[in-house]
Chain A
Amino acid sequence: MKEISILIGGKAGDGIRQAGQTLSRLLNRNGYRIFFYDDYPSLIRGGHNFSIIRASKKKILAHKEKVDLIVALNQDAIEKHKHRLNSGGVILYDSKKVEAQGVGVDFMGLVKELEGAPIMRNTAAMGALAKVLNIEWPVLEKVMMDTIEKEVDLNIKIAQLAYNQVEKAWFSVPNLNQKMLPLVSGNEAIALGAVQAGLNMYIAYPMTPASAILHYLAEHEDDLGVVTIHPESEIGVALMALGAAYAGAKTMVGTSGGGFALMTEALSLSGQGEFPIVFVMVQRPGPSTGVPTYTMQGDLSFVINSGHGEFAKVVLAPGDAEEAFYLTGLAMNLAWKFQIPCFVLSDKHLSESIFSFDADPDKVKSEDPLLWDGQGEYKRYLDTQNGISPLAFPGNPAAMVKATSYEHDEYGITTEESDQIVRMQQKRLRKKKTMEDELSLHDQVKVYGDPESKTVLLCWGSTKGSCIEVAEELGLKVVQPLVLEPLPIKPLREVLSDADKIIDVEVNATGQLAKLLSAHGICIDDMILRFDGRPFTVDLLLEKVKEVLS
């Protein structure tokens, strides 16, 4: 098959995400490109979790509503998802727990037979699934050996028993002889991009859907050369990060909307004190607690306008794991080059989905900031032509480094004199012009689909994947700004100038990108918005776009 989509469903605690990841690896090792979507409510036990794994010969960045195979560990997985099954689709189910038609296997019975733990039911399901997919047993065995940390032998025995219980294969996913790619989530790509750009410290308070960045970096601290810290609150996080940056450590923080709300005080301090810092803002539905484990692009306006006072910041919005990697690296380098706060604006859908990752690590490098040359007397806030004052750090035997939240003179001593206030504000804002020149050397706006088409799907962030596939199907053009602040208005105008119809596609209730562009005189003709916490799937978006075009 060129492409297959599989849904695995059960209750929280059944190990659904883990099973999905094992399946993704299986298909990856047969040369398929993977997109993995994980849907789970905010609880630890019970509820209904499901993962959709889509595997294709070509690169994909989104999943579909419809699936070819449902693996049901509970009845909910049937009741909630049977409408998704394509004709010719099959249900693989736990025959003692679930009533369904298809391939029934007594997963729990097999686990009990070998005296395994109840969680190993997902292992039994994996074994049976591998057979249904006609995947050779050694491929699964190898994946299990590579990924399972506890009781590998027992798990393998359970999987093998289940594998042999299934009488025949229903699908065929032969080895495509394509290069196997690493499977990387958006959050992992963000972490790796930061490391590649020289990250020294990652500081964060746990908050879904950003927590996995903290977990990943903490787990790999020694291998990655990073120190991770989990402080008392997001206020503590952001201020601690500014202290670390002042001392010379490349530092990143990560959170979601509610946590970022608490960090905005420190954000303004980074503006005034010119502390380099990277904020990773992983959006989820709000306002307030909202829907913690689902997705939304609802904080664009908040982030680009965040922080009291006027100061330069950069907001980058990756749309897949590769962009998350490159743009986080860019954010770190820009933060230090211009001594400003830089944002990586992600969302649950990008951060927690898993992608086949084909980025070139060598394209991200740790770039040196402008360091003081040691000549003369050090002035932390030296007024320069391009607004950038050379950096020195405490401990430097020749420099006294005074950083401050107050308006200040070049040495960093408080001032309330009108000419000084104007001079320093102009100095800081001058960096913005320098930064815009630098950004113009990078890809700020991407175009996909048919570049000649006069109908444009306008999107940002994780909505990219579905838009590209829909555009390819219907012969449309996709425009995706990667930089949202400062808005790259010139390149946007260039790619939108000959459009007859611009359809804005966003996962929020008010069309925040559309509003932003309207403020610059770019008119949006239609909006397709989804704001139920779920991302656009390819097939759903296709229907919506067809409706708008008809």
Chain B
Amino acid sequence: MTTVKELETYAQNTWCPGCGNFGILNSIKKVLADLTEEGLDLNKLVLASGIGCHAKIVDYIKVNSFYSIHGRVPPPITGIKLANPDLVVIGHAGDGDAYGEGIEHLIFSAKRNIDVTFIVHNNRVYGLTTGQFTPTSPAGFKGRSTPGGSPEEPLNPIELMLSSGATFVARGFSGKPKHLQFLMKAAVKHQGFAFIDVLQPCFTFFNTYDFYNKRVYELTDKAHDSSDREAAFTRAREWSYGEGERIPIGIFYQARRPTYDEKLLAGRIPVNLKPGNIKSILEKHI
């Protein structure tokens, strides 16, 4: 087993004090440490990230990692999983990353049901580029590119992922780490595309601590049947990333459906494949 302490690297953490990313970093480290107790081999784990404040997370955790580029976390993690399906793959992305620049990849990951976990650090603002509106910023958001207020309505990623075919759709809050760890653990164990939208305040550019603390509530098994896709849509529409009184967090939907890697590879492991005999193929060309 591995302890949380052993997962630390020498990289200096450069997030702002009070950043919501700390809640996510601590949670994922705790989950990874816990999972090693349950038999997860960390050498077979790959963590990936995009570009933005969230992405520094791969520098801070002592595991295999792929620090990708903006918007492009789903394609490399899909490639990694397909090349070697024995690996356990977790992608981290920001909201600008996942819902803006790379939204096509996210939709296709859900549609295919590739067996990876995808955690969005959704602070609803561009932090590293110093405060512009993102696809999930509320309408009227005054950012540096929209001083008069954002003219766009926010996207609801929970609804988007449900309609795209994701088989695990959840929302967490970085301010509720225990609950977030429960979601992360369930997501990593899920077979198929596991998506978590993590609400995360940006202390410097969009401080939403109080807003979320007043509104989030946990979905319980009693109140919500996560195998019911229609019920999941209804819950998803309870809050559309603007104003609102109640924000549900928890697992909206979970189902088992054959994964992309299972269907596409049918048992093959590409990194172990041996090339075929081209001479017999060439004979057919005569």
Contacts and interface: CB of A to CB of B under 8 A. Distances in A.
Contact of B270 (A236, A249, A395): A249
Contact of A227 (B67, B264, B286): B264
A548 B277 CA distance: 48
Contacts of A120: none
B177 interface: no
B159 interface: no
B139 interface: no
A406 B52 CA distance: 12
B87 A243 contact: no
Contacts of B280: 223
Contacts of A400: 43, 62-64
A196 B275 contact: yes
A269 B271 contact: no
Contacts of A29: 286
Contacts of B72: 235, 239, 265-266
Contact of B87 (A232, A394, A397, A403): A394
A199 B275 contact: yes
A91 interface: no
A248 B44 CA distance: 13
Interface string B49-75: 001000010110011111111001011
Contacts of B68: 239, 269, 405
B15 interface: no
A413 B10 CA distance: 9
B69 A244 contact: no
B80 A243 contact: yes
Nearest to A354: B285
B275 A413 contact: no
B11 A183 contact: no
Contacts of B51: 405
B271 A200 contact: yes
A296 interface: no
B83 interface: yes
B281 A244 contact: no
B79 A240 contact: yes
Interface string B88-123: 000000000000000011001000000000000000
Interface in A171-227: 180-184, 188, 192, 195-196, 198-201, 203, 220, 222-227
A224 B282 CA distance: 11
A402 B276 CA distance: 32
A242 interface: yes
Interface in B122-170: none
A2 to B, nearest CB: 22
A243 B268 contact: no
B278 A239 contact: no
Contacts of B64: 394, 400-402
B54 to A, nearest CB: 14
A537 interface: no
B12 to A, nearest CB: 10
B14 to A, nearest CB: 9
Contact of B80 (A25, A229, A394, A398): A394
Given A200-B273, A405-B51, A405-B69, A247 B104 contact: no
B23 interface: no
B283 interface: yes
B79 A241 contact: yes
A396 interface: yes
B80 A246 contact: yes
A465 to B, nearest CB: 19
Contacts of B222: none
A222 B277 CA distance: 11
Contact of A244 (B44, B67, B270): B270
A361 B282 contact: yes
* Dominant secondary structure of chain A at its interface with chain B: mixed
Contacts of A403: 65-67
A interface bracket (residues with beta carbon within 8 Å of B):
35 or more
A257 to B, nearest CB: 21
A405 B67 CA distance: 6
A246 B66 contact: yes
B58 A232 contact: no
Interface string B247-286: 0000000000000000011001011011111111111111
Contacts of B264: 227, 229
Contacts of A414: 11, 56, 59, 67
A264 to B, nearest CB: 12
Given A200-B270, A223-B281, A395-B87, A243 B77 contact: yes
A192 B79 contact: no
A361 B281 CA distance: 11
Given A192-B281, A400-B62, A180 B274 contact: no
Contact of B82 (A226, A227, A233, A413): A227
Contacts of B86: 395
B79 A402 contact: no
A402 B64 CA distance: 5
B84 interface: yes
A225 B79 contact: no
Q: With a 10 A CB-CB cut-off, give which of B10, B43, B63 has the most chain A CB atoms.
A: B43
A231 interface: yes
B27 interface: no
B9 interface: yes
Chain A CB within 10 A, most for which of B84, B86, B285: B285
Nearest to B79: A243
Given A239-B79, A243-B78, A394-B87, A402 B65 contact: yes
Given A200-B273, A247-B46, 8 more contacts: A29-B286, A192-B281, A223-B281, A225-B273, A243-B80, A248-B83, A249-B84, A395-B44
Q: Which 3 A-B pairs have the closest CB atoms?
A: A243-B79, A243-B76, A239-B75
11 contacts: A192-B281, A192-B282, A203-B79, A220-B276, A227-B270, A243-B77, A243-B80, A247-B80, A247-B83, A361-B282, A412-B67
